[in-house]
A and B are shown apart, each in its own frame.
Chain A
Amino acid sequence: KAGVTQTPRYLIKTRGQQVTLSCSPISGHRSVSWYQQTPGQGLQFLFEYFSETQRNKGNFPGRFSGRQFSNSRSEMNVSTLELGDSALYLCASSLDQGLTEAFFGQGTRLTVV
Chain B
Amino acid sequence: GQNIDQPTEMTATEGAIVQINCTYQTSGFNGLFWYQQHAGEAPTFLSYNVLDGLEEKGRFSSFLSRSKGYSYLLLKELQMKDSASYLCAVRVPYSGAGSYQLTFGKGTKLSVIP
Contact = CB atoms under 8 A, between A and B. Distances in A.
A55 interface: yes
Contacts of B30: 98
Interface string B94-114: 101011111111110000000
What DSSP secondary structure best describes chain B's contact surface?
A: strand
A27 interface: no
Contacts of A33: 101-102
A102 B107 contact: no
Given A104-B44, A106-B42, A56 B106 contact: no
Nearest to A44: B104
Interface residues of B, number: 24
Interface residues of A, number: 25
B87 interface: yes
Interface in A13-70: 33, 35, 41-45, 48, 55-56, 58
A96 B43 CA distance: 19
A55 B101 CA distance: 10
Given A42-B105, A42-B106, A105 B99 contact: no
Contacts of B35: 104
B107 A106 contact: no
Contacts of B91: 98-99
Contacts of A92: 102
Contacts of A35: 104
Interface string A56-91: 101000000000000000000000000000000010
Interface string A89-113: 0101000011111111111000000
B42 A56 contact: no
Top-5 shortest CB links A-B: A42-B106, A43-B104, A104-B42, A56-B94, A56-B101
Interface of A: 4, 33, 35, 41-45, 48, 55-56, 58, 90, 92, 97-107
10 contacts: A35-B104, A45-B103, A55-B94, A56-B100, A98-B30, A98-B100, A99-B101, A102-B102, A104-B42, A107-B42
